[in-house]
Amino acid sequence: MAARRQRLRHGLLGRRRRVGATVTTWNPWSLRELITDLAAGRTTPAEALERSRSRIADTDPVLRAWVEHLPEPALAEGPLRGVPLAVKDIIDLAGAPTRCGSALRADAPAATADAAIVRAWRAAGATPIGKTVTTEFAFFSPGPTRNPAAPEHTPGGSSSGSAAAVASGQVPLALGSQTAGSVTRPAAFCGIASLVLGHGRFPTDGVVGLAPSLDSHGVFTASADDLALAWSALTGTPEPPPNRAPRLLRWNASALGVDDAMSAALEKTCANLTDRGAVVTAFPEDQLIAELTEAHPVVMAYEAARERAEELAAADRLSDHLATLLRTGAAITDAEHDEARRVVVEADRRLARLTESCDAVIGPAAQGPAPRGLDATGNPVMSRAWQALGLPTAVVTGLRDERGLPLGIQLIGHHDGETALLATARGVEGA
Amino acid sequence: MAARRQRLRHGLLGRRRRVGATVTTWNPWSLRELITDLAAGRTTPAEALERSRSRIADTDPVLRAWVEHLPEPALAEGPLRGVPLAVKDIIDLAGAPTRCGSALRADAPAATADAAIVRAWRAAGATPIGKTVTTEFAFFSPGPTRNPAAPEHTPGGSSSGSAAAVASGQVPLALGSQTAGSVTRPAAFCGIASLVLGHGRFPTDGVVGLAPSLDSHGVFTASADDLALAWSALTGTPEPPPNRAPRLLRWNASALGVDDAMSAALEKTCANLTDRGAVVTAFPEDQLIAELTEAHPVVMAYEAARERAEELAAADRLSDHLATLLRTGAAITDAEHDEARRVVVEADRRLARLTESCDAVIGPAAQGPAPRGLDATGNPVMSRAWQALGLPTAVVTGLRDERGLPLGIQLIGHHDGETALLATARGVEGA
């Protein structure tokens, strides 16, 4: 009975519903607090797993973030001390099938080995406990996951389940991937922090990709502070200390359709940062972003048609949206793809010059808060340009619109600059 | 008071809700009954307009089928005796803006002239009374319209409002257009009849098109019987009498993902037809359909990028889905488009040989009933092949799945064979 009460207190009955609003509060689970408690012996890895299991049992009938649970997760050892980890279901996890949110893989057998990125997190001390909902092959057709911050709203996608699992406190750490805006958007919509690793950081073996020149790894935590800790553990490097007065280029992204609440949130964040000594100047070249935003879908469609050729051959069992992407992508010629890649390479050079004397670009992580409804996952347009370049990006959260829906701020770093980016993210988080 | 009671009786309070199901019944409005009443002097065109207005006032706060009402519709004269007509909001109607479901056209001025197809229906005696919801530029991003047969389900798209307006009895006649499955799918989902005119039938002047070689006109009514009447009025030809024992090629479309309820509905319809003397044989060449289904999106994306070049230049104000279509379409070369068109031309010859001794192909109009949710409009895959060929197609309704959701049967005719197709549709409707 005591255990049952305990579960209820932390579970569904424990959520606070704001009167007259659709917003519910599910507290995320701080990775740093958990690691501190584990280090101090106030809890054990087995208890952390049990807490995760109990939280999932309480909340997942509503949230639908998970597709598979490992019956007996093997406790990992390493700096993360065995904390529970969620794995997006396009990433192989030994002992569980990789179904990719697709009817085509409904009967997939259990993977026999971990993906390289899972091995890396396991070596860092994270314990994979199961697989989370992805949109169909990490494109747009959504799974059943609800947004923990507003259950009638999309959690975003494609890493829908991983974002919801962290936002609802089911796990303190979850893996995603991003080809367009599949990590940044769900982090922003669910009100949590995320890091998209630079393109090429860690191999993609064992990940069912969509567009090899665009696919990047991602990770979700409750806060940028937690991201810094996770990154340190993953890479065996010291934690980046907060950069409280960064030099930032402010990208308003107004040409990409930002709503008023998001504009105000960016404005306020930049004002607070400036008050604290940050130097914020305007991002000078919207044309560069426009060119990249245009080139990105061409590269993505071209590569997806070739990377997922097997699925293209069975397109009758795909959503019309994905089938259309693959079919139109197959009709894009090598020459057109080369031209789009050339735009990207040229833009990369120009951006490097623009940003060389700043710590990061700061801008909206999404056009606004999560749209209402579960049948679409929102617009990734705020990520296309940066993802075309393969830059590391982070989402910092903490702001809400007048309805209480989360708004995410995006930070874009330099190539190979994850550590410095996370230092900036920690600094911005405080603002 | 009497008028108010009358409105309530025919309005929201008059709907019958099936206990324990999501299905509501909104009776559509028979065009033939109305014309008969008008001819007999039992009602007047002005009363018909008032009935439409009243029905819209009662039901549209829930259904959201309309975007604009003409304040004083000019009563048309002709064989249709002034019956009220709904016009999809990509088709110009003098006195109303053409907004195309897009923020890009939110401030569009009122059109100064009718589209050619509106002039044709006006000459046939239909009175346009306003504009109905379309998805964004007749592609996939939905408007707010609910399915009258099941308000939590999509009405389909892109002609969402016109289908819902007929299914709910707001009007007896509504105009749509189809580039992929934008008439056939909403008719099937809402449980009404539709005709997609052969490509090139009536000019498309005044219609904001998507892909010129694919865009066709469409019309919705309560039944195939009404379609025959409407077609006769539009073309000034005698009404096609029911063909009760047609020769049909049965296309199961199983390679395109048909659900069990739809398969059973097709099975039952064919069995009933056979009992009544029809000759039903199997459609022999699924490969032909596969090739066309694959070529269609290539043609559509290529042409849409060029047809909507102005919108492509302002893609930041489009949905990501449409922006991606236009951007990938712009990267498809002339040579690839030519190749896809070549597939279509060749398939057209092969199909003509296959179908020369039959009245129509019969198959599913959609993969199944309307999917739940209003944020996506379902899959047009059952129409892509036929639309690539520009053939006239009709939807016959009357069947429901075990939840009471409508299921539509599709009939595909010969080039220039609308009249014969509607004769077959009337015959199939009885079965």
Q: What is the pLDDT of residue A107?
A: 95
Q: What is the pLDDT of residue B430?
A: 84
Q: With an 8 Å Cβ cutoff, is B280 touching chain A?
A: no
Report DSSP state, residue A96.
B
Please tell me the number of Cα atoms within 13 Å of A14 on its side-chain side.
Answer: 16
Domain tally for chain A? 1
Residue A208 belongs to some domain of the structure: yes
- Choose among B333, B371, B374: nearest Cβ to A373: B374
Mean pLDDT on B50-66: 96
Residue B106 belongs to some domain of the structure: yes
| Residue at B163: amino acid letter | A
Distance (Å, whole) CA A143 – CA A163 = 13
Query: For residues B422 and B394, is the Cβ–Cβ distance under 8 A?
Result: yes
Q: What is the pLDDT of residue B25?
A: 53
- The tokens 């051959």 sit on which residue? A313
- CATH number of the domain within which B124 lies: 3.90.1300.10
Contacts of A120 (CB under 8 A, 6+ apart): A202, A234
Q: For every one of its 431 residues, what pLDDT tens digit does chain A have, with 9 covering 90 and above? A: 333 333 333 333 333 333 333 344 578 999 999 999 999 999 999 999 999 999 999 999 999 999 999 999 999 999 999 999 999 999 999 999 999 999 999 999 999 999 999 999 999 999 999 999 999 999 989 999 999 999 999 999 999 999 999 999 999 999 999 999 999 999 999 999 999 999 999 999 999 999 999 999 999 999 999 999 999 999 999 999 999 999 999 999 998 999 999 999 999 999 999 999 999 999 999 999 999 999 999 999 999 999 999 999 988 889 999 999 999 999 999 999 999 999 999 999 999 999 999 999 999 999 999 999 998 899 999 999 999 999 999 999 989 999 999 999 999 999 999 999 999 999 999 88
- Choose among A298, A325, A331: nearest Cβ to B336: A331
Distance (Å, whole) CA B169 – CA B27 = 6
CB contact under 8 A, B294 and A329: no
- What residues form DSSP beta bridges with B217? B177
The burial of A346, by beta-carbon neighbours within 10 Å (0-12 exposed, 13-18 middle, 19 or more buried), is given as middle
Tell me the pLDDT tens digit for each residue of B90-120. 999 999 999 999 999 999 999 999 999 999 9
Q: Which two structure tokens, joined as six digits, stand for B320? A: 């990501």
- What residues form DSSP beta bridges with A194? A220, A395
CA distances from B212 to A10, A189, B306, B387, B410 (A): 58, 38, 10, 12, 23
Q: What is the pLDDT of residue B375?
A: 87
Structural domain span for residue A13:
2-235
Distance (Å, whole) CA A163 – CA B120 = 53
**Backbone phi, psi, residue A88, to 5°:** -60, 140
Distance from CA of B353 to the nearest CA of A (A): 26
Contacts of A129 (CB under 8 A, 6+ apart): A49, A52, A53, A69, A70, A73, A84, A85, A86, A171
Which strands form B247-250's sheet, in the order they lie side by side? B66-69, B126-132, B83-88, B173-178, B216-221, B193-196, B393-400, B406-412, B360-364, B247-250, B279-282
Q: With an 8 Å Cβ cutoff, is A379 touching chain B?
A: yes
Distance (Å, whole) CA A271 – CA A260 = 16
Tell me the pLDDT tens digit for each residue of B274-326. 999 999 999 999 999 999 999 999 999 999 999 999 999 988 889 999 999 99
Distance (Å, whole) CA A355 – CA B389 = 52
Residue B347 belongs to some domain of the structure: no
Shortest CA distance from B254: residue in chain A: A316
Residue A397 belongs to some domain of the structure: no
Residue B416 belongs to some domain of the structure: no
Q: How confident is the model at residue B193 (pLDDT cuts 50, 70, 90)?
A: very high
Q: Coil, strand or helix: which one is A219? A: strand
* Chain A interface, best mutation among B321, B325, B332, B334, by max A CB count within 10 A: B332
- Choose among B301, B323, B373: nearest Cβ to A375: B373
Cα of first residue to Cα of last residue in chain A, in angstroms, is: 43
Q: How many residues does chain B have?
A: 431
Report DSSP state, residue B316.
G
Q: Which two structure tokens, joined as six digits, stand for A8? A: 């209820």
| Catalytic positions of A, written as ranges | 88, 158, 182
Residue B326 belongs to some domain of the structure: no
Residue A296 belongs to some domain of the structure: no
Contacts of B260 (CB under 8 A, 6+ apart): none
Q: Is the pLDDT of residue B15 over 70?
A: no
- Choose among A140, A340, A375: nearest Cβ to B331: A340
Q: How confident is the model at residue B173 (pLDDT cuts 50, 70, 90)?
A: very high
Q: With an 8 Å Cβ cutoff, is B334 touching chain A?
A: no
Distance from CA of B294 to the nearest CA of A (A): 7
Q: What is the greatest pairwise CA distance in chain B?
A: 67
Q: Coil, strand or helix: which one is B184? A: helix
Q: What is the pLDDT of residue A25?
A: 53
Cα of first residue to Cα of last residue in chain B, in angstroms, is: 43
Q: What is the greatest pairwise CA distance in chain A?
A: 67
Within 10 angstroms of residue B208's Cβ, the number of other Cβ atoms is 24
Distance from CA of B181 to the nearest CA of A (A): 11
CB contact under 8 A, B328 and A297: yes
Asked, as a colleague might, if the bond just before A52 is cis with ω within 30 of 0, I would say no
CB contact under 8 A, B320 and A256: no
Distance (Å, whole) CA A304 – CA A209 = 8
Q: Is the pLDDT of residue B20 over 80?
A: no
Contacts of A344 (CB under 8 A, 6+ apart): A292, A295, A299, A388, A389
Contacts across the A-B interface (CB distance below 8 Å): 93
Contact residues on chain B for A158, CB-CB shorter than 8 A: none
Tell me the pLDDT tens digit for each residue of A129-159. 999 999 999 998 999 999 999 999 999 999 9
The string over A222-247, giving b where at least 16 C-beta atoms fall within 10 Å of a residue's C-beta and e elsewhere, is bbbbbbbbbbbbbeeeebbebbbebe
Within 10 angstroms of residue A10's Cβ, the number of other Cβ atoms is 17
Strand extents, DSSP E, B26-75: 66-69
Contact residues on chain A for B340, CB-CB shorter than 8 A: 331
Mean pLDDT on B206-222: 97
Q: What is the pLDDT of residue A375?
A: 87
Residue B317 belongs to some domain of the structure: no
What percent of chain B has pLDDT above 90? 90
Q: With an 8 Å Cβ cutoff, is B325 touching chain A?
A: yes
**Backbone phi, psi, residue A336, to 5°:** -65, -40
- Choose among B290, B337, B375: nearest Cβ to A375: B375
- The tokens 């379902």 sit on which residue? B378
